[in-house]
Chain A
Amino acid sequence: MDLSALASQLLVGLSRAMILFIVSAGLSFVLGVLRVPNVFHGSLYMIGAFVAFTIAAWAGEPALGLALAIAAAPLVVALVGLVVERTLLSHLYQREHLMLILFTFGVMLILNDVVKLVWGADYRSILPPAALQGMASAFGLALPRYNALLLGAGPVVAVAMWLFTHRTRVGTIARAAAVDREMVGVLGIDVSRVFALAFVVGCYLAGLGGALVAPTTSISLGMDHTIIIEAFLIVTIGGLGNIWGALVGSLLFGVTQSVGLLVWPQFAVVFPYLATVIVLLARPTGLLRSVW
């Protein structure tokens, strides 16, 4: 096999993993801090993509449109998350997980219909600026330009999340709450506000993932289903609630898929799931430490 083809394919896989990481990091963070398996996380990702479309269409000029979309769409999604958290979710934290899954599943169905009402059933798409179209090659490796941008976005988010959880007070409290939330409450900290913030951060990441993926795909109803299944698998193989686990899981998922395509294209679909099964057989609680 052609070595440079393998390396290029690896890079494409890594860039795909970055989107998965951004989305599943949000899911994992919410799981860790709030103990809420948020099924409508995928809907927020879809809304992020649709809002990005609206912003980009409104701006007109592709480069400006994309920049505005990536900056503003996640904020809109975070706002949606805040409303849902304050009005509904904040009253339900004490319920058992099954109830929370049912509740968030219900919200997913509602948001799906909201998207249909607002944007209709048509496919949408965002045209990236000319500078981000086509292939870039460096050192004999070819990579779609937009995927190169994604490769950069992943580490930025990872570093930002690390700074947030380790260098800010709220982040530290959130991390503490993930380990022992009774203790945090006993210390007299207003857990409710910390939870709200953590949830909003999780939603922001879903929206960011949606906005970043928007120029590479057709923005359509149903994109929520695909991503939520993958994100839950990733969070599970990485270790529930562990953001670095989400990173490891995403890399495993993205790379097995893309390299699998090169090695055995007819059955490539199977590879990420096969990897998931192997990981879970070997380490049922995930690759990294689960906070549950």
Chain B
Amino acid sequence: MTTGARLLWALLAAVAVVTVGVAPASQSAPAPQLGRNIKVGVVDTYSGPPAVFGNDALNGFRLAVNEINREGVLGARIEFVTRDERFSPEIGLSVARELVLQERVDVLVGTINSATALAISAFARDQRLPFIVWISKSEAITGARGHRYVFSTGENTAMAGKALAEAMARRPYSRFWLAAEDYEYGHAITNSFWRFMKRIKPEVILQGQTWWRTGEPDLVPYLTAIASARPEAVFFGTGGAGMTNVLRAMKTTGFSDRIPSMIHTAIDHAVLRPLGAGAPEGVMGTIDYLFYHPDTPANRAFVQAFQTAYGGPPGFPAFHAYNTAYFIAQAYRKAGALDREKFIDALEGLRIDSPVGRIEMRACDHQVVLPLFLGVTRRSPRFPDFLVATDIQTIRGEDVMPTCDDIRRARGQ
């Protein structure tokens, strides 16, 4: 070895010593067992009205990833890259393709848009790459069009529809009106509700139905037309901006004071907060996460951490995304390797401790089992700035989920 080479080696050794010396403790740990970091590709809507949900989910995910990375996953860390699908299945599919083929992500997560979720799901199956859906609620995702590579960490329209129908069936109404937004989720939730309603209470009558196009800004004419038909109760199938528009129009027309109204996610904080005192009271709704309920140490800790990081309480997308990160971390710990098939095997039936308690990724359909909360919008002295859900009833996830046999039938197996 020449003097120059020896000098170079000495220099390198010195640099290495210095680097290791100043590096944080986590990086001086034994060699990573996973070999490299876990790379997650996030596809969601970060522009236009649904961005409020996409951003909430991303915040929840980021919070969990930061917590997880403090101790790491088998010596590795979780990294993620995000792409804006702009609420379009075409864009969603093309960015998912880019994340898989160019960024070489290990797992895809995301999407608020159910149509995008289904498009990426088909792509993930072809690529044999795990895809975890965290906001989209169409039951087709883990139902009829489910497969080995797709998972859902949120409740879906089958669960919500059944929970809502069971709640409505206990009330003395039989003449119903269905009013919904004309898109994948609007159809899925409305069909699910009505399917269960007819099954639970066969004497119900569908008096009429109204569909409005996505983005319809003024729903007052729709509500006045429905009100003049005098149905006994109305089920609304909408979410996001459509939801806030419906609630605004309800307040303007006093609709919910006169006709019992029910909407899945009407009691969602992301919906009620921006409306402030402009939200109507007395609307029945369901959701799988409320930052003020259950009032447990785990939920309080999650809310506190989220509030400190982002200045406001988490919504249901943040809750789903937070759990998604923990499912990913736990599954890799269990799998012990960056292997897609082993990851999926590990995720099937996996249980984690979420802010609302132990939740499970059901093995037969890859649908998370978590509780739903049924409540009614009301003013509360505890929160003067916005309405909250009151009279909250907890519905167990396993009671409203389709059975594994139902799923097999739906998938034609």
Contacts and interface: CB of A to CB of B under 8 A. Distances in A.
Interface of A: 2, 5, 8-9, 12-13, 16, 19, 116, 121-128, 133-135, 142, 144, 146-147, 213, 215-218, 220-223, 225-227, 257-258, 261-262, 265-269
A13 B224 CA distance: 10
Contacts of A225: 215
B146 to A, nearest CB: 30
Given A124-B274, A127-B277, A268-B210, A226 B216 contact: yes
B251 A8 contact: no
A137 to B, nearest CB: 11
Contact of A216 (B213, B216, B249): B249
Contact of B274 (A12, A218, A265, A269): A218
B228 A123 contact: no
13 contacts: A9-B224, A19-B218, A121-B48, A122-B52, A122-B274, A123-B241, A125-B244, A127-B277, A218-B275, A261-B221, A261-B222, A262-B225, A268-B211
Chain B CB within 10 Å — which of A8, A123, A133 has the most?
Answer: A123
Given A123-B49, A222-B48, A265-B226, A12 B221 contact: yes
A266 B209 contact: yes
A269 B217 contact: no
B230 to A, nearest CB: 9
A140 to B, nearest CB: 12
Interface string B212-239: 1101111011101110100000000000
Interface string B46-60: 111101100100000
Given A124-B274, A218-B274, A226-B215, 9 more contacts: A121-B52, A127-B276, A127-B277, A134-B254, A216-B220, A218-B248, A220-B244, A265-B209, A268-B211
- Nearest 9 Cβ contacts at the A-B interface: A218-B244, A5-B228, A121-B51, A261-B225, A258-B221, A123-B274, A265-B210, A127-B278, A134-B254
Interface of B: 46-49, 51-52, 55, 182, 208-213, 215-218, 220-222, 224-226, 228, 241, 244-245, 248-249, 251-254, 274-278
Nearest to B212: A269
B204 to A, nearest CB: 18
Contacts, number: 130
B48 A144 contact: no
A218 B241 contact: yes
Given A125-B244, A134-B254, A261-B210, A226 B52 contact: no
Is chain B's binding surface mostly helix, strand, loop or mixed? helix
Contacts of A223: 217
Chain B CB within 10 Å — which of A5, A124, A220, A258 has the most?
Answer: A220
B41 to A, nearest CB: 21
Contacts of B49: 121, 123, 220-222
B275 A125 contact: yes
Given A265-B225, A269-B182, A123 B220 contact: no
B142 to A, nearest CB: 28
Contacts of B221: 9, 12-13, 16, 257-258, 261
B51 A221 contact: yes
Contact of A125 (B47, B211, B278): B278
B343 to A, nearest CB: 32
Contacts of B55: 121
Chain A CB within 10 Å — which of B208, B213, B244 has the most?
Answer: B244
A269 B226 CA distance: 15
A133 B245 contact: no
Contacts of B277: 127
A226 B224 CA distance: 21
A5 B221 CA distance: 11
B135 to A, nearest CB: 14
Contacts of B245: 217-218
Contacts of A8: 224, 228
Given A216-B249, A222-B48, A126 B278 contact: yes
B199 to A, nearest CB: 23
Contact of B225 (A135, A216, A217, A258): A258
Given A9-B221, A12-B221, A258-B221, A123 B209 contact: no
A146 B251 CA distance: 11
A265 to B, nearest CB: 4
